[in-house]
Chain A
Amino acid sequence: GQSLEQPSEVTAVEGAIVQINCTYQTSGFYGLSWYQQHDGGAPTFLSYNALDGLEETGRFSSFLSRSDSYGYLLLQELQMKDSASYFCAVKGSGYSTLTFGKGTMLLVSP
């Protein structure tokens, strides 16, 4: 089976930097994804790490350490529109399945 742990809620102010951690326990592991979901909306893809290290996409970066079964999403220069839920998800073996964490609600205040 697969299980993922991430904080339930994180708060920050505009302009700040926030890191959302994700630890996982899986029977098969191909990669770690991050998805963003605004209230009432659909999850949308942010990033994917299959190899150790940092991937940067604009204000968002994602990190993976396979040996530690750990990853994080780093959001810089926070904006109000970044207030959303963020899900880490593990890609298991075989077909393109994803197991999602329970999500971290990020609240950005002025």
Chain B
Amino acid sequence: DTAVSQTPKYLVTQMGNDKSIKCEQNLGHDTMYWYKQDSKKFLKIMFSYNNKELIINETVPNRFSPKSPDKAHLNLHINSLELGDSAVYFCASSRRDTSGLYTDTQYFGPGTRLTVL
């Protein structure tokens, strides 16, 4: 009954490789996100999808490509991995709310710790 799940939990790979991280949510939410958390614990949004449509694309190298096959899934593919890509990547989901009066809670997955050697 996991709300937001990610696979894999750990990913160790060599520089230059291509890797993917998968995310699934069973909360019925319409918005999903990818965040990057660096070694200093700074959480930075990378992408946001609403109903399979890309909404937010922060200043992220185009080696990162998100894909949302349906509302419940948001995958992240990374090409030509670099040392600086080492971080924890969190997927999250929420119910879109533009009024601002509701909690608009974001539910995070357990994270994928990516280590690039």
Contact = CB atoms under 8 A, between A and B. Distances in A.
A48 B108 CA distance: 16
Interface string B78-103: 00000000000010001111101111
Given A31-B100, A95-B98, A100 B43 contact: yes
Interface string A68-98: 0000000000000000010100010011111
Contacts of B106: 43, 45, 96, 98
B114 to A, nearest CB: 15
A42 B90 contact: yes
B45 A50 contact: no
Contacts of B90: 42-43
Interface stretch (B19-27, B48-56, B68-76): B48-56
B109 interface: yes
A91 B100 contact: yes
Nearest to A94: B98
B105 interface: yes
Contact of B100 (A42, A50, A85): A50
Nearest to B6: A42
Contacts of A100: 42-44
A94 B109 CA distance: 23
Interface of A: 30-31, 33, 37, 41-45, 48, 50, 85, 87, 91, 94-100, 102-103
14 contacts: A33-B103, A42-B108, A42-B109, A44-B108, A45-B103, A48-B102, A48-B105, A91-B100, A96-B94, A96-B95, A96-B106, A100-B42, A102-B41, A103-B42
